[in-house]
């Protein structure tokens, strides 16, 4: 590490490098923004040919699910915990039970439009907790992914 700092300092003195020596030495690929950018996951989702995307979005209080047709740039079906029936059925919109209910409602809405196969796009969220509960609810409702 000392050698790389020394080399960076020499290059900076020579005028070939215009970045600070410490910044040049500390680069972490795992934390690079392009590795976690939402467009990266969208490209991965489009690679699965013949299927629409089931996209999950969440906030601290709500969870949303949408079936998106990327060829037409249109939302085909959607469900969320902000719907009146979901809010009234459970006590909370923040737990896994509400996310499972959203998944089931999304599956019913998608099957009504003739959609049975989708590609699950978790948008960088871990497959855990409410995201996994929504996916399991959609599977219980009859969606295949």
Question: Residue 119: which CATH number?
Answer: 3.30.420.100
- The confidence score (pLDDT) of residue 12 equals 67
pLDDT for residue 68 is more than 80: yes
Q: Within this chain, do residues 27 and 42 fall inside the same structural domain, yes or no?
A: no
Q: Within this chain, do residues 10 and 68 fall inside the same structural domain, yes or no?
A: no
Q: Within this chain, do residues 26 and 41 fall inside the same structural domain, yes or no?
A: no
Q: Within this chain, do residues 70 and 123 fall inside the same structural domain, yes or no?
A: yes
Range(s) of the domain holding residue 46? 37-141
pLDDT for residue 50 is more than 50: yes
Q: How many domains does the chain have?
A: 2
Q: Within this chain, do residues 75 and 15 fall inside the same structural domain, yes or no?
A: no
Q: Within this chain, do residues 77 and 111 fall inside the same structural domain, yes or no?
A: yes
Q: Using 50, 70 and 90 to split pLDDT, how confident is the model at 17?
A: very low
* CB-count burial class (<10 Å; 0-12, 13-18, 19+) for 102: buried
Q: Within this chain, do residues 96 and 133 fall inside the same structural domain, yes or no?
A: yes
């Amino acid at each position: 590490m000392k050698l790389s700092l020394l080399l960076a300092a020499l290059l900076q003195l020579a005028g070939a490098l215009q970045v600070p020596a410490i910044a040049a030495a500390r680069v972490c690929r795992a934390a690079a923004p392009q590795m976690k950018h939402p467009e990266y996951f969208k490209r991965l989702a489009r690679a699965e040919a013949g299927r629409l995307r089931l996209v999950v979005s969440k906030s601290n209080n709500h969870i949303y699910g949408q079936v998106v047709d990327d060829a037409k740039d249109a939302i085909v079906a959607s469900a969320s915990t902000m719907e009146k029936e979901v809010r009234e059925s459970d006590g909370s919109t923040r737990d896994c039970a509400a996310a499972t209910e959203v998944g089931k409602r999304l599956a019913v809405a998608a099957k009504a439009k003739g959609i049975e196969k989708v590609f699950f796009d978790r948008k960088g969220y871990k497959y855990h907790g409410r995201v996994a509960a929504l996916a399991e609810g959609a599977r219980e409702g009859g969606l295949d992914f």
